[in-house]
Amino acid sequence: MQNIKELAKAAKTASYELAVLSGAIKNKALVRMAGSLKAKTKEILSANKTDLAKARDLPKAARERLSLNEQRIKLMADSLLAVAALKDPVGEVIEGALRPNGLWIQKVRVPIGVVAIIYESRPNVTSDCIGLCLKSGNACILKGGSEAIATNRAVYHILKNAAVESGLPAEAINFVDTVERKALTELLGLSDSIDLVIPRGGEGLIRFVQKYSRIPVIKHYKGICHTYVDRYADLKMAEDICFNAKAQRPGVCNAMETLLVHNEASCDFLPEMIKRYTQAGVEIRGCDKTIKLVRSIKKAKELDWSTEYLDLILSIKVVDSLDEAITHINHYGSHHSDSIITESYNNAREFLNKVDSACVYVNASTRFTDGYEFGLGAEIGISTDKLHARGPMALPELTSYKYMIFGNGQIRH
């Protein structure tokens, strides 16, 4: 097994060198890395084929997340190019002040240091995290899931080779090349070398990381996302948004898991909406009021309101008011992404102000909660925490700050 402790120490040393590299050098590396991904598409697809062959028993949604094709690899490369085009956050003066004693104090963005990313079955996470960490001046340690080990290994070696050829320190990009759980436990104890851990995956993985980590953790928790169709909604718009939020790609964290509909809109909206869902293979689990409208659906249980399905399953609840919808979301949701469909400005503002989630939408699909869609180039995760980072985490969220103080002989009396 790899010597995880030595790997982390080497990453820490490399982080000091990476922290002071110019934006031009980092951008040159990112462009070269993007080109390498495209040039070695066949190599990546071959590795992905190996993983998929071993993943026949995985749920459909998990296989979909694991699967790559030429278009997805192109998107991975495009994401690296988008990160290269963004402003370098390192060295940005956040604020400054001249004190009465003549001291000039600046608050300046700096890299966090060494970031460990623990993730499961999405190979694009490998390239996104490497690109974001590189641009923000952080060394990274990647620990992917066993189901994607061949694909992650291939992407890692391609990107690392391109980075080193561009002049970056070799130990700035690291990969834990084992599926043993012992390696993860050891990694989570290395607080002297690793500054931050970001877990991306299912609830089990995140709880494991939180339990065993001696390093600060920013968690990407469950995506129990809601769409609320208000009494003042444009129902045609609502139908298209709700279908997209659930059915476009159900196995991702920003897909809708619960649909809430105002009682006054339910009779006109739900029968046709459920028919469209059913035709697309979506299993519906509804409250008593929903079942009265469409008797062929399953009855929702209490557990359904707090379940992240990551599949073509949707729970539906009819509510009597905007307040009831907001209360339901704040109680059962995971504070990830929630949307209201309404033509009422006042209801939209109340929803935006009262729903306690990282991303809150008006008349749009929750599927847009994504670093690339937000113009951030990519994301290293979607934080449902409130401290340091919230929502899609990109370059600014991968920095801390330090105070730089300039004087001309001042002493304190």
Residue among 264, 267, 256, 350 nearest 307 (CA): 256
Cα 165–chain centre separation:
29
Residues 6+ apart with CB under 8 A from 39: none
Within 10 Å of residue 303's Cβ, how many Cβ atoms? 8
For 212-234, the pLDDT digits (tens) are 999 999 987 789 999 999 999 99
129 within 8 A of 152, measured Cβ to Cβ: no
The owner of tokens 């001696």 is 214
* Residues 303 and 320: beta-carbon distance below 8 Å: no
Residue 400 sits in a domain whose CATH number is: 3.40.605.10
pLDDT tens for the chain, 413 residues: list them.
689 999 999 999 999 999 999 999 999 999 999 999 999 999 999 999 999 999 888 888 788 889 999 999 999 999 999 999 999 999 999 999 999 999 999 999 999 999 999 998 889 999 999 999 999 999 999 999 899 999 999 999 999 999 999 999 999 999 999 988 899 999 999 999 999 999 988 788 888 999 999 999 998 778 999 999 999 999 999 999 999 999 999 988 999 999 999 999 999 999 999 999 999 999 999 999 999 999 999 999 999 999 999 999 999 999 999 999 999 999 999 999 999 999 999 999 999 999 999 999 999 999 999 988 998 888 888 888 888 888 888 899 999 999 999 999 999 98
The answer as to whether 374 is a domain residue is no
Identify whether 413 is part of a domain.
no
Residues 398, 326, single domain; the answer is no
Q: Characterize the bridge pairing of strands 93-98 and 104-111.
A: antiparallel
Residue 375 falls within a domain, yes or no?
no
**110 and 254 housed in the same domain:** no
Q: Does 200 lie in the same domain as 79?
A: yes
Same-domain pairing of 270 and 326: yes
- 101 and 147 in a single domain? The answer is yes
Residue 378, domain member (yes or no): no
Q: Tell me if 214 is assigned to some domain.
A: yes
Q: Are residues 148 and 28 in the same domain?
A: yes
What residues contact residue 159 under an 8 Å CB cut-off, 6+ apart?
33, 36, 37, 126, 127, 130, 173
Domain identity same for 259 and 353: yes
CATH of the domain at 351: 3.40.309.10
Tokens at 162, concatenated: 């391109």
DSSP conformational letter for 171: G
Q: Could you give the CA distance from residue 209 to residue 187 in angstroms, rounded to a whole number?
A: 10
- Is 376 a member of any domain? no
- Phi, psi angles (nearest 5°) of residue 205: -65, -45
For 238, list phi and psi in degrees, rounded to 5.
-60, -40
Whether residues 133 and 150 fall in one domain = yes
In this structure, the dihedral spanned by the alpha carbons of residues 342, 353, 400 and 394, taken in order and rounded to 10 degrees, is -10
Q: How many domains does the chain have?
A: 2
Residues 98 and 104: beta-carbon distance below 8 Å? yes
- Tell me if residue 183 falls in helix, strand or coil: helix
Name the 3-class secondary structure at 370.
coil
The domain containing residue 281 runs over which residues? Answer: 225-368
**Separation CA 157–CA 14 (nearest Å):** 17
Fill in the DSSP letter of residue 333: S
Closest CA to 187 of 202, 206, 172, 209: 209
103 and 188, same domain (yes or no):
yes
Which spans in 91-227 are helix H? 124-135, 149-165, 181-187, 203-212
**DSSP string across 29-73:** HHHHHHHHHHHTHHHHHHHHHHHHHHTTTS-HHHHHHH---HHHH
Q: Which residue is listed with tokens 């991904």?
A: 37
Q: Alpha-carbon distance 130 to 127, whole Å? A: 5
Is-contact 304 285, C-beta < 8 A? yes
- Is residue 236 located within the same domain as residue 185? no
This prediction has a pTM of 0.86
Same domain, 98 and 211: yes
The pLDDT tens digits for 239-291 are 999 999 999 999 889 999 999 999 999 999 999 999 999 999 999 999 999 99
Say if residue 57 is in the same domain as residue 25.
yes
Residues 231 and 14: their CA atoms lie apart, in Å, by 57
Instruction: Evaluate whether residue 379 is within a structural domain.
Output: no
